[in-house]
Amino acid sequence: MSRELNTNDGFDLRGSPGKGEGIFATKPFKVGDIVMVGIIKEVLSGNHTHASQISENEYVFHAGLISKVSHSCDPNCGIRVNETGAHDFIAMKDISVNEEITFDYAMRNYTIDHFPQQCMCGSKRCHGRITGWKDLPDEKKKEYEGFVAPYLLELDAKHSCDKVQDIQNDEVKVKSKDRK
Q: Which residues bind Zn ion (CB under 5 A)?
A: 73, 119, 121, 126
> Considering the complex, what minimum distance in angstroms separates the CB of residue 75 from Zn ion?
10
Output 105 or 151, the one with its CB closest to Zn ion. Answer: 105
Output 121 or 148, the one with its CB closest to Zn ion. Answer: 121
How far out from the chain centre does Cα 18 lie? Answer: 22
Task: Name beta bridge partners: 61.
Answer: 42
Closest CA to 87 of 96, 79, 77: 79
> Considering the complex, what minimum distance in angstroms separates the CB of residue 44 from Zn ion?
26
Q: What share of the chain is helix, strand, coil (3-state, %, to 5)?
A: 30, 25, 45
Output 119 or 152, the one with its CB closest to Zn ion. Answer: 119
> Considering the complex, what minimum distance in angstroms separates the CB of residue 131 from Zn ion?
10
Output 73 or 106, the one with its CB closest to Zn ion. Answer: 73
* Strand arrangement, sheet containing 77-81: 34-36, 87-91, 77-81
Output 35 or 73, the one with its CB closest to Zn ion. Answer: 73
Query: For residue 68, with 0-12 CB atoms within 10 Å meaning exposed, 13-18 middle and 19 or more buried, which class applies?
Result: middle
The C-alpha atoms of residue 152 and residue 109 are separated, in whole angstroms, by 8
> Considering the complex, what minimum distance in angstroms separates the CB of residue 103 from Zn ion?
12
> Considering the complex, what minimum distance in angstroms separates the CB of residue 3 from Zn ion?
35
